[in-house]
Amino acid sequence: MQFQQRRQAFTLVELLVVIAIIGVLVGLLLPAVQAAREAARRMSCSNNMKQIGLGLHNYHSAFNKFPYSAGKAGSITSGTAIPGLQNVRNHRGWMGVLPYIEQQSLYESIDASLSTGSYVRDSGQSTLPGPKPGELGNTNDVAVSTAVESFLCPSDPNPTHYATTSSNSYSISPGTTTLEGAFTNYEFSIRRTSSWAPKWSQEDLYTRRMFGMDDSSRMRDLVDGSSNTVAVCETLRGVHDGVPQTWGYTKWVGNGVDLAYSLGINNLLCCAWDANPFQRTRQASRLSAWSTAGSVHPGGAQFTMADGSVRFISESTEITILQHLAYVGDGEVIEDF
């Protein structure tokens, strides 16, 4: 007598139970994987900021001073924008730091005698010779549209370039090129201003930040101590009010980050001019306004101190403490932050 073998198989209920268990395990595992990935991205971001800190120190060793944040910035100042009669320079200090962050070839491609942005905010300057809004740019357009990996935080999901068609006020050469200005997540610590900014050496001694317009600070100017002074602030490549930071050319707004500004770290509300906070909206990857500090790292942002170290500062830190960290000579030393 032959016995028919019974086929072994899962029942529908058993399959549903297995699927449910797998779903639960994936649900438990996914946050851990995402956290691990963010930890890796944050470490990469920290390494970028450490490299920039070392680059600033090497620059200081070579020239006995730090670079300016913005120089001859025709798009954000009046009167001093035209060096001679030919060029609106609109240079950023990061240009001089390039050789010290392994970007020698990019540095050599820049002609320092030419502008890196043709837009001139002051209409009174339109009668002077030199580049005007809507005119052709120059070979520097290619350089300042180059995304530099050392300037980009891998956690930031925003675009790496400013769209040429967004606004002529912030483009490299309005209406004449398809090239798009490259953003940076790491910016000089500066006083937030949009026009007629004084030279760094003319700013108030007690509330002066480490970087500024045209002039350069030296290590001796950091009277509060290099370990107590913020040099470079992390920011996002997306803002509600204004435009993000570009490393190679100046704009009407931007040209650094002001840690002492009243919005503090990671202010995501839109918009600063809205008097009713209950009507404001939030977007996790867009800061409220230009020249403010922030990141998508949970709980705060990273900062390079003047001694080259990198510190993570909580978004809940009081504004008075942030101000003391931004000022280079107010006499207040913050030991624990």
Report which of 168, 176, 101 is spatially closest to residue 141, judged by C-alpha positions: 176
- What residue type is 56 in one-letter code? L
Q: Which residues, in sequence order, are CB contacts of 269 under 8 Å at separation 6+?
A: 277, 280, 281, 282, 288
d(CA 232, CA 258): 10
- Please tell me the pTM assigned to this model: 0.82
d(CA 96, CA 29): 45
**How many Å from the N-terminal Cα to the C-terminal Cα in the chain?**
85
Report which of 179, 161, 68, 160 is spatially closest to residue 118, judged by C-alpha positions: 179
> 257 and 292 in contact (C-beta within 8 Å)?
yes
DSSP annotation of 231: E
The Cβ of residue 114 has, within 10 Å, a number of other Cβ atoms equal to 18
For the chain, domain boundaries: 15-326
Report which of 277, 278, 295 is spatially closest to residue 286, judged by C-alpha positions: 295
Tokens of 202: 């003319």
Q: List b or e across 2-35, with b for residues whose CB sees 16 or more CB atoms inside 10 angstroms.
A: eeeeeeeeeeeeeeeeeeeeeeeeeeeeeeeeee
User: What is the residue-level pLDDT of the chain in tens, covering all 337 positions?
Assistant: 555 555 566 677 777 777 888 877 777 766 666 667 777 888 999 999 999 999 999 999 999 999 999 876 555 544 333 344 444 567 899 999 999 999 999 999 988 877 776 565 554 444 444 444 434 566 788 888 899 999 999 999 999 998 766 666 677 765 555 778 899 999 999 988 754 566 777 888 888 899 988 888 999 999 888 899 999 999 999 998 888 999 998 877 778 999 999 999 999 877 655 556 555 566 778 898 889 999 999 999 999 999 999 999 999 999 999 999 999 988 888 777 7
